[in-house]
Amino acid sequence: MLLFPLNQVKKGLTDSEVRKIYQQLGDLYTKMHSTTFERFGKIVEIDGKFKVETSFDSYRDFFLDLSRSWLHRGVDTPFEDKILELEEWLENRSHIFTDNIEPRLIHSDLSSSNVIVQDSSVRGIIDFDIAKAGNNVFDIYRVYRHFEEEKKSEIAVNGFFETYSIDLPQNYKKQIEFYRTIDPLSYIDCWEQIEESYSEKELEETESFVNESIQKILESSSF
């Protein structure tokens, strides 16, 4: 039988197949997130073992360092004049990460395109090149994004939490909402690639979307 990325087959999945897949993902995430580190940071694999390459005492500090790095890639983009304001917004709301967060092995890019399935069975997770010693809630947040259809998204999340057994901070739902709110800022990080690959119309639409999203973020008072 052929193997496929989940994003290629998810539209055709039945509700029971969605539940089965996400029960398996909950178990796989549990195993992955059970690998812990002493400090937060980017990691590399050396001789089959993960090592922390950069080092931060708190996830808050690590998050702010990461966010500054990708916001600064917005220099010479249409969003350059908003960088400092966005940095300040993130700094003022990063207290959301002051709960006891333990450095855990996270994938950091667990989109449905990186989950490999065969029928309704998960056969693997790929693309660990930006793995981190970070906040496991970030990986879980990506589960909420796998389906646009509300019903299937709810089934996926419920199935996932039937098997996921790592303790989460009390405010994890607030953290998920925070990640969801700032997600459009990822376009700033990869704007150079977008300019190279998008058509003129797509570029205009994306620029408009990002500008509108930035405005919503800066006007948000939820955190």
Tell me the pLDDT tens digit for each residue of 64-105: 999 999 999 999 999 999 999 999 999 999 999 987 899 999
pLDDT score, position 162: 98
Half-sphere CA count of 128, side-chain side, radius 13 A: 14
Q: How confident is the model at residue 45 (pLDDT cuts 50, 70, 90)?
A: confident
Cβ-based neighbours of 42, under 8 Å, separated by 6 or more: 52, 53, 54, 130, 132, 133
Q: How confident is the model at residue 48 (pLDDT cuts 50, 70, 90)?
A: confident
Query: Residues 144-167: pLDDT tens digits?
Result: 999 988 999 999 999 999 999 999
203-222 mean pLDDT? 94
When comparing pLDDT for 20 and 49, which is higher? 20
pLDDT score, position 119: 87
Angle between the N-to-C axes of helices 136-143 and 172-182, in degrees from 0 to 180, rounded to the nearest 10: 70
User: One-letter amino acid identity for 41?
Assistant: G
pLDDT score, position 173: 94
Domain 4-219 CATH assignment equals 3.90.1200.10: yes
Distance CA 141, CA 110 (A): 9
Q: How confident is the model at residue 62 (pLDDT cuts 50, 70, 90)?
A: very high
Contact 152, 18 (CB under 8 A): yes
Distance CA 43, CA 38 (A): 12
193-210 mean pLDDT? 95
Q: How confident is the model at residue 1 (pLDDT cuts 50, 70, 90)?
A: low
Q: Print burial letters for 13-29: b (CB count within 10 Å at least 16), e (below 16).
A: beeebbbbbbbbbbbbb
